[in-house]
Structure 1
Amino acid sequence: MSTSRRTRRSGSSVVLRLTRNSLVALAIAMPVNVGAAEPSAAPPVIVCTVSVPSLVERGQPVLFAVTLHNRSRTARALLNWGTPFEEAWLQPFVEVERDGRPVPYGGASVKRGDPDGDEYVRLGSGQRRTANLELSDVFDFSVPGRYTVTPRLVLHDVVALPAALPRPRAQHIAHPLACGGAQVIVVRLAPK
């Protein structure tokens, strides 16, 4: 096919007749605003941060703190399952490695039915809440080394308030949280 084009006047407009090769060339030359029609990714409604002490003497507790921040304009109810807000280790929601090797979880794992209303944490608009658990209750930190703590937190249900609570499991929509990781170095107690 040729790449020529013919121009013809029709009233006050100009009509271009383009061959297939010239259409391809025109498409390549035209600026394209990729993604302009798609909405930008919305920032997460619930933001999570974690912390552990950076240095711990062997045998001392290793405290794990999780802070949730509601960045939305409405109050939210968050199901506390599998988070420190349950105030107990009822499933492994973090992974721990010592010097690059996995440290096994030694806590409970429970199966659940439908939640009760008191299993939801309420966060007002802009509000933050922090919960703490001891990692050393369910992970072995007795060996000196560099430990990496990687949260695998999922909010099993997030509800905009006011709403009827609790919701049955069939209505839950999981919200994985990107909390980032943390490191703690366990050192041997220096002899006196």
Structure 2
Amino acid sequence: MKVLHRLPGLLMLMAAPLAQAGGGMPAPAELACRFEATTDAAGQVMLKFTLRNAGSRELHLLRWGSPFEGAWFAPFVRASTAQGELPFQGALRKRGDPSAQDYLRLAPGQALSAELPLADAYALPASGPVTLRAAWRWHDVMASGTPPRPRDRHQGRDQACGELTLAR
């Protein structure tokens, strides 16, 4: 497997104002995200996602539906070929209220990575290029306060993480 191209290498999400818990002034934050594909010793395509808090405030991100949940519980990557989009084959999960453990804590300047096998979500064709686009919605982003936050107060933000093409 060879990565043909990557667009762009690093995308920034300017999380346009994050409301503070308690209704104070909004606080801006930046999340930098990138992903890359590698092949492990068994020939399996692995996707590695790296998220970095480029802002000056600690963030708490509800990890549901993101690669930082540790499994494919949502199609946070879209895979397509010249014939069209591949069907997502990962698990989908219904949710109750979040707990504090469902949030990812990201300090200013801190970077975290998650790695997942692409085969757990998509059956790739034997040959031909496959384009991967990584994007998801953080269901709740907190720039202050302590998680969890009630669902009716969640502040969601979209996260773009880039695109790459695999040659097979």
Which TM-score band (shorter chain)?
Answer: 0.7 to 0.9
Change in 2 beyond 3 A, CA 1:101/1:44: farther
Root-mean-square deviation (CA, aligned residues, Å) is: 2.1
Consecutive unaligned residues of structure 2, counting only runs of 5 or more, are 1-15, 18-27
Aligned to 1:46: 31
- 1:49 Cα deviation (Å)? 1.0
User: Relative CO higher for 1 or 2, CA cutoff 8 Å, sep ≥ 6?
Assistant: 2
Distance 2:138 2:62 in 1: 6
- The aligned residue for residue 16 of structure 1 is none
- Among residues 93, 112, 119, which one is paired with 1:136 in the alignment? 119
Counterpart of 2:56 in structure 1 is 73
Q: Which amino acid aligns with 1:181?
A: E
SS in 2 for 1:118: helix
| TM-score scaled by length of structure 1 | 0.68
**Which segments of 5 or more consecutive residues in structure 1 lack a partner in the other structure?**
1-40, 187-192
Q: Secondary structure at the match of 2:68?
A: helix
- With over 3 angstroms needed to count, the CA separation of the structure-2 counterparts of 1:72 and 1:44, relative to structure 1, is closer
Q: SS state of the match for residue 160, structure 2? A: coil
**Which residue, 140, 154, 165 being the options, matches 2:137?**
154
Which of 170, 176, 179 is the equivalent residue of 2:158? 176
Task: State, as a whole percentage, how many aligned pairs show the same letter.
Answer: 35
Whose helix proportion is higher, 1 or 2? Answer: 1
TM-score of the aligned structures, taking structure 2 as reference length: 0.77
Residue 142 of structure 1 and its aligned partner are, at CA, apart by: 4.2
| Kept in 2: contact 1:47–1:177 (CA 8 A) | no
Q: Distance in 1 between matches of 2:146 and 2:110?
A: 21
Displaced runs of 4+ in structure 1, greater than 6 A? none
Would you say the 8 A contact 2:35–2:162 is kept in 1? Answer: yes
More strand as a share of residues: 2
Larger Rg computed on CA atoms: 1
